[in-house]
Structure 1
Amino acid sequence: MSVDSLLQAIPPLLVYLIVGGVIGIESLGIPLPGEIVLVSAALLSSRHELGVSPLWIAVAGSAGAIVGDSIGYGIGRHHGRSLFDWLGRRFPKHFGPRNVNFAERVFTRWGVLAVFFGRFIALLRIFAGPLAGALKMRYPKFLAANVLGGICWAAGTTFAVYYLGVVAETWLSRFSWIGLAVALVAGLTIGFLVKRKTERMADKYAEEPAD
């Protein structure tokens, strides 16, 4: 079976459920590759013959982000800081003292803005709901930032990748795969630089004395 035949055999509904499910679980505080799943699904939607709708991917991603963050908020509010002690033992790479300290300082300093913009930063994305709950952020403010951030992130990412995929497919049909390789390298480089910047920010916040 060819790759195209395999892709065409995937029901669109399954794609939407996977997107919503993975992003929802990630938003609970469990480190899953939600952004990778969202981008991959958006690329699938740029292949019109597959019947996958970018609109429904955006809806599924937004719903997963909003619901997952809200459940994470409730869990964090109920269990408080003990939740992060447990997560630190289970997922030390993601919930080690340095990352927890960084996220807590960002949330303390920026409040609801950290919930909104945290959706766009991988390190903060898994902290948003549980940490906002643990810090006793008022739920109406959290919900507003959560809804706006989830929709902007999921819909923005989906349609940006969708249109890039459509353009790339048209462009490659006229030129060659060299352009795709260049674009891929550029994207990976930007992602690496953003990750390094976030890590340096985490180190800076971790080294600052507590207020």
Structure 2
Amino acid sequence: MTSFLDPVIAVVSAHPWLAYLTLFLAALLEAIPLAGALVPGSTIILALSALVPGGELKLWGVLAAAIAGALLGDGTAFWAGHRSQREILNAWPMSKYPGVMTQSETFFHRWGTLAVLFARFVPAIRAFVPVTAGALGMPPMLFFGVNIPAVLAWALAHVLPGVLAVSALHEYAGLPHHQHIGKHLWILAVFATAIITFGIWALRRRQARTGLRPGAGPT
């Protein structure tokens, strides 16, 4: 993996626009069935986020590219499932992964609405839950109401570790780095925690109000 990333990082370091495009495509492809199993999107995002402390890339640009790609990928997969319903679950490329599709459907039935949030952080089924949610009849407003906060939290969770680690390394080695990054990171870390906490609380409250169990899911 390192041999693959080294030339990528070398090229995008000199061309920021290419780095943002790479981040966007990595997040997009990782959210699409089949492509998500082949593209190491999370690794690419983590590696490129390490260029932020040195000033090669902007923190907000990295986050925006990752968020936009993930939202487009998840949204496309969901709408494909929503339009085709269950028959898409047995079509190519999903038919190539019957075990993963079964796992995705089981995960969705177990956690219901929360599956859309949790799946963002489970690489094995991340690319399959949105299409499954659409195919099983989850309302679009409900899906995007959960998916958007989930993507925001996912992007922060993937970008912040790389930025924090390299910022600490720069500090330790006395290398130049952006002094305002630390302040921004704390704000973003609190924001990410708040998104996840509020999302889980709101969904749990909705399930309690409607009498749904976590695994009931939509019908």
The structural deviation recorded for 1:46 is 2.7
Q: Which runs of 4+ in 1 moved over 3 A?
A: 5-9
Give the TM-score taking structure 1 as reference length. 0.70
Residues 1:59 and 1:168: Cα distance change in structure 2 (over 3 Å): same
Q: Residues 30-49 of structure 1: CA distance to partner in whole angstroms, max 9, x if unpaired?
A: 2222111210111122322x
Which residue in the other structure is 1:42 paired with? 49
In 2, distance between residues paired with 1:8 and 1:20? 13
Which residue in the other structure is 1:166 paired with? 167
In 1, distance between residues paired with 2:48 and 2:13? 14
Give yes or no for the alignment of 1:53 onto 2:53: no
Give yes or no for the alignment of 1:16 onto 2:20: yes
Residues 1:112 and 1:8: Cα distance change in structure 2 (over 3 Å): closer
Residues 1:121 and 1:53: Cα distance change in structure 2 (over 3 Å): same
The structural deviation recorded for 1:119 is 0.5
Residues 1:24 and 1:46: Cα distance change in structure 2 (over 3 Å): same
Query: What is the aligned length?
Result: 163
The structural deviation recorded for 1:7 is 5.1
The structural deviation recorded for 1:22 is 2.1
The structural deviation recorded for 1:145 is 1.0
In 2, distance between residues paired with 1:84 and 1:122? 19
Which residue in the other structure is 1:179 paired with? none
In structure 1, the gaps of 5 or more residues are 175-211
Which residue in the other structure is 2:121 paired with? 120
> C-alpha root-mean-square deviation of aligned residues, in Å?
2.2
What are the residue-to-residue correspondences of 1:71-150 with 2, within 5 Å?
71-85=76-90, 86-89=92-95, 92=96, 95=97, 97-150=98-151
More helix by share: 1
Is the 1:54–1:159 contact (alpha carbons within 8 Å) kept by the matching residues of 2?
no
> Counterpart of 1:158 in 2: which secondary structure?
helix
In 2, distance between residues paired with 1:124 and 1:6? 31
In structure 2, the gaps of 5 or more residues are 1-6, 175-219
Identity %: 25
In 2, distance between residues paired with 1:139 and 1:88? 21
The structural deviation recorded for 1:160 is 2.5
> Counterpart of 1:16 in 2: which secondary structure?
helix
